[in-house]
Amino acid sequence: MMQVAIMKGRRVGVREVSILELLDWAFRKEKVSIEFDAMRSVMPGQMPGFGMEWVMIERARLGCRVDGGGTSPCHPDADAVADALAQLPEACGGRSMAITIAELARVGEQHGWAEGCTMKVAPRAWRQTYKGPFAETEVAMSWRYESRGRQREVQARWCPIVVHNQPAETARARRAYLQWWSALRELRDTFRNYGGLCSHQVTAELPPMKPWATS
């Protein structure tokens, strides 16, 4: 029966990092990339499509690097991060979320949740005049009347508007943030429970689950 050593506690020469710090290091510093169709040979000859747990267990068993496993200049831990991300479950967003996580990590940013966005109303269009910008208006109705023997016309105009940051948009942004957070938790738990990293140990730290609840 295969036994996998899951390292608990602090190890000599191993850096403790949060899952966000690990992702940032792998994609910004090591510039690793995700390969969905064929993982970087965790087990030579095996077909891709295994779950994240299998990938991490095999990496832990084999010591992260496989002889003849390719010429990638990336650190083996960075490869492990990319491989785990490529196997992100569909329940956590699958490939689409994996790409989102990688893109955010490459620029060192976290997922937005409509922070500071409040609903506001603004004119749909503006026109430039010599006195400055004015909101575009349209004729709502008009009528004629006679004054001092002359026909005159009066127009009632209205300003078309757009509503920014509607509640539905905010809710959509927060749902996307929660899915991103759930994916980070899945990755964190995978590395903490199954190992697979040589030089890093993932801590329990996560970004706030609902930052809007305390903002």
Better-scored residue on pLDDT, 195 or 111: 111
Q: For residues 62-87, b (16+ Cβ closer than 10 Å) or e, as one string?
A: eebbbeebeebebbbbbbbbbbbbbb
Rounded to the nearest 5 degrees, what angle is found at the Cα of 117, between the Cα atoms of 24 and 127?
Answer: 115
Place of tokens 């490529």: 86
Is the pLDDT score of 98 beyond 80?
yes
pLDDT digits (tens, 9 = 90+) for 145-204: 888 888 888 888 889 988 887 888 889 999 999 999 999 999 999 999 988 898 999 999
Sign of CA dihedral 171, 176, 177, 181: positive
Q: How confident is the model at residue 50 (pLDDT cuts 50, 70, 90)?
A: low
Sign of CA dihedral 94, 96, 98, 104: negative
Is the pLDDT score of 67 beyond 60?
no
pLDDT digits (tens, 9 = 90+) for 160-176: 988 887 888 889 999 99
pLDDT digits (tens, 9 = 90+) for 1-34: 333 344 444 555 789 999 999 999 999 999 999 8
Q: How confident is the model at residue 54 (pLDDT cuts 50, 70, 90)?
A: low
